[in-house]
Homo-oligomer: A and B are copies of this chain.
Amino acid sequence: MRARSDVLGTAILGLLHESPMHGYELRKRLNEVLGSFRALSYGSLYPALRALADAGLIAGAETDSAPPHALSGKRARIVYELTAAGKERLQSALAEAGPAAWEDGSFDVRFALFAHTDAETRLRILEGRRTRLTERLDTVRKSMARTRERLDDYTLELQRHGLEQVEREVRWLDGLIDNERGNRRAPTTASGLPADADDAEGAPAPRH
């Protein structure tokens, strides 16, 4: 296990908590759940699994060729599941509501695990993230004010666009925060069909 707040490890524990899986499948799930783009490579995943297993947080059982032959007669694969220690570790990771939870590299993963996170912590993380982003906004705006003159139109446009994306992210968080506050103790069932169309208004989605 890597030292402080191993993001990939947490993500793996989170997925395995939902259901046991083998590496190949886990990778697909990881890629489709978070990131969505940027594919995690096997060169990262398998060593991470090994590390988690060595740390006793997960245990792998080899399902070698035994199955009757009906369906799923693939080949020897290693299905991992959480150990008791792994469950504990996951719980403490889910309870973390500090910077480690809302920084760039980890927020996505933590958010994807919100279904297993208690309401208090969810709110704390969303607010932390929001503060983080508005701080950034401030810094960038000041920097732009200082340097606007010296920059060509393209560079300026790049910055403007970057700023806009972050602003949008903040508004997104605002919606989520509102929602969390409103739904204190209400799991938000009955989400409409997210369908497609630009914004829809699906699950615990914010309005804008």
Contact = CB atoms under 8 A, between A and B. Distances in A.
Interface of A: 32-34, 36-37, 108, 111-115, 136, 139-141, 143-144, 147-148, 151-169, 172, 176, 188, 191-192, 194-196, 198-200, 202-206, 208
Nearest to A34: B158
A139 B194 contact: no
| Chain multiplicity (copies) | 2
A151 to B, nearest CB: 7
Given A158-B34, A160-B194, A165-B165, A205 B153 contact: yes
A37 B153 contact: no
Contacts of A188: 153
A199 B200 CA distance: 41
Contacts of A206: 157
Given A154-B205, A157-B204, A157-B206, 7 more contacts: A36-B143, A37-B162, A152-B194, A153-B191, A156-B202, A157-B205, A165-B169
A139 to B, nearest CB: 7
Given A143-B36, A147-B32, A198 B155 contact: no
A152 B195 contact: yes
A88 to B, nearest CB: 22
A196 to B, nearest CB: 5
Most buried by B among A152, A191, A205: A152
Contact of A32 (B143, B152, B166): B143
Contact of A160 (B136, B158, B202): B202
Contacts of A194: 148, 152, 156, 160
A167 to B, nearest CB: 7
A126 to B, nearest CB: 11
Contacts of A37: 136, 139-140, 162, 166
Given A111-B158, A112-B158, A165-B168, A152 B36 contact: no
A163 B208 CA distance: 13
